[in-house]
Amino acid sequence: MGTQLARHLIQEKHDVSLIEANPERARHASNHMDCLVLQDKGNSIYALEEAGIARADALVCVTESDELNMIICGLAESRYPDLIKIARVRNDDYVRLNRPEEDSSQEPRVLGINCFIHPDVEASRKVLSAVEHGVLGDIISFAGTNYELGAVDIAEASLFDGLVLTKYRAAVPGESLVTLVERGHGSGAEVILPAGSTVLGKGDRVFILAREGELDRIFRLAGHAEKPLRRIGIVGGGRLGCLIAEGLLEKTDPSESRGMAPKHRGFFSLFRGFISKRNYRVVIIDQDYNLCKELAARFPEALILNEDLSDEKFISEERIDGLDLVITTTAQQEFNIINAVYLKSRGVGRTIALVSSPGYAAVARKLGVDVVIPMNMVVVDSILSHLMGDSIIAVHRLGDGSINILELDTGEDAPVAGKALKDSRLPADSLVMLVNREGSAFIPKGDDVINSGDHTILITRKGNEAEISRLFNAAP
């Protein structure tokens, strides 16, 4: 994760220093990245200062240890309190410490940490969003708007197979926009920012921006009919599986429930308002007997099965192959992919697999997994959203990471303010997809003018972030 984050920042012309205690990892990073790499422990103030922390704008700690990440931030706070400090943690108790109370006017900063990034929460949000849309494709929601970006593969003989984009508006009713096309696999893969002459074809993966509620209809036109999701299986009862189970089983935000234990109330409230819209029947499968006992006490409304998923007899007896959806959430990404593919071949309607890296995500999609959540990419995107400057408030990377979606607030003296889009001189391969103006969102055309204060959502190739930030930010 640290390597992925550093590589992205280096490509965006940021000055990066990397501290790694493991000699082999440090040597590999030094040989493959154009940045300062120190083979040392991060909880050494001398190592931090040798890495240039006195001149740094931000410190990001993504080691495997929650406590180590927090201690490093605390060390930095003792000498450099103005430094932005971001820590990756998995313990929800630590995250709750850094969340403001409802009646508090100021957000507390534990050990000077500006932001806690919780990988399981970030990934769970993605899973729950996909479930709410029928697991037809990957979904990105944009806060404060009624638009979503969905990705779906075009099926043979569907309306989209052979469709020229100049005829898209006539063929697809409503307001929507094809923003990106991924074509092919492996070394021959292409990532296309489409033009009117682009022709869609079977196997293409298309990213479509549309109003909430419209994506399901558009996905059907691409050849993917929505199937009811009632019986959902979760493979793996660890922290990630529990978060997903809570999101599926709760009918209202538990933070509003007076009778719920504070620990569980805070655990779920990390989703910030996800509300389950359907009555799901949840099955949780895990091989750890003691963990299953805890799960049974925690989720009395769910069926808990202490079994080995590779047991053919178990799958038949418990009718696992009759589930509408299976979500594989174990710590072994190969296991998640293999079981998702196997269970789908046995008749499971749809599958979601959690993997660590985008490379595995591409493999899983090619093998037929409906939705793949690459956890490292999800976490890196969340961290980047805090590091890209004042005007860029969120970053979403698509596909192989060569395409970014940026959410920006237009500054009062920004160069693009008051100009029509066609005159804004955006970098090549950049497109403004959506503008949110005073709570009203719309897909802009070339003659539309960008105003100061507009929240703008833009898609662009990697490498254009600095120029886009300059165009949308206030002049110094």
Report for 18-22, 185-189, 275-279: range of highest mean pLDDT: 18-22
pLDDT at 174: 86
Evaluate whether residue 132 is within a structural domain: no
Are residues 292 and 355 located together in one domain of the fold?
Answer: yes
pLDDT at 435: 95
* C-alpha to C-alpha distance for 316 and 414, rounded to whole angstroms: 62
What CATH number does residue 289 fall under? Answer: 3.40.50.720
Are residues 24 and 60 located together in one domain of the fold?
Answer: yes
- Return the residue matching tokens 């662009």: 460
Evaluate whether residue 399 is within a structural domain: yes
Evaluate whether residue 378 is within a structural domain: no
Closest by alpha carbon to 354, among 328, 380, 381, 382?
328
Evaluate whether residue 83 is within a structural domain: yes
Global pTM value = 0.77
255-266 mean pLDDT: 37
Evaluate whether residue 379 is within a structural domain: no
Evaluate whether residue 380 is within a structural domain: no
Contact present, 248 and 233 (Cβ < 8 Å): no
Are residues 88 and 181 located together in one domain of the fold?
Answer: no
The total number of structural domains in the chain stands at 4
Predicted confidence (pLDDT) per residue in 131-177, tens digit? 987 787 778 888 788 899 988 889 999 999 999 999 999 999 888 99
- Parent domain of 349: 122-126+228-373
Evaluate whether residue 292 is within a structural domain: yes
Are residues 353 and 429 located together in one domain of the fold?
Answer: no
Are residues 245 and 359 located together in one domain of the fold?
Answer: yes
Contact present, 107 and 100 (Cβ < 8 Å): yes
Are residues 316 and 368 located together in one domain of the fold?
Answer: yes
- For 161-210, give the secondary structure using H, E and C: CCCEHHHHHHHCCCCEEEEEEEECCHHHCEEECCCCCCECCCCCEEEEEE
Predicted confidence (pLDDT) per residue in 392-416, tens digit? 788 888 877 788 899 988 988 889 9
What single letter denotes the amino acid at residue 329?
T
Helix, strand, coil shares of the chain, percent, nearest 5, are 35, 25, 40
pLDDT at 22: 94
The two three-digit tokens of residue 219, written as one number: 């996905």
Predicted confidence (pLDDT) per residue in 73-129, tens digit? 999 999 999 999 999 998 877 767 665 544 444 555 788 898 899 989 889 988 998
Evaluate whether residue 91 is within a structural domain: yes
Are residues 45 and 7 located together in one domain of the fold?
Answer: yes
Q: Which ranges in 89-133 belong to alpha helices (H)?
A: 92-97, 119-132
pLDDT at 284: 96
Are residues 179 and 75 located together in one domain of the fold?
Answer: no
**Residue that finishes a domain, picked among 59, 86, 117:** 117
> What is the percentage of the chain residues whose pLDDT exceeds 90?
50
Are residues 77 and 26 located together in one domain of the fold?
Answer: yes
Are residues 365 and 399 located together in one domain of the fold?
Answer: no
Mean pLDDT, the chain, rounded, equals 85
Closest by alpha carbon to 193, among 221, 165, 152?
165
Are residues 274 and 198 located together in one domain of the fold?
Answer: no
* C-alpha to C-alpha distance for 260 and 248, rounded to whole angstroms: 17
Predicted confidence (pLDDT) per residue in 289-307, tens digit? 999 999 999 999 999 999 9
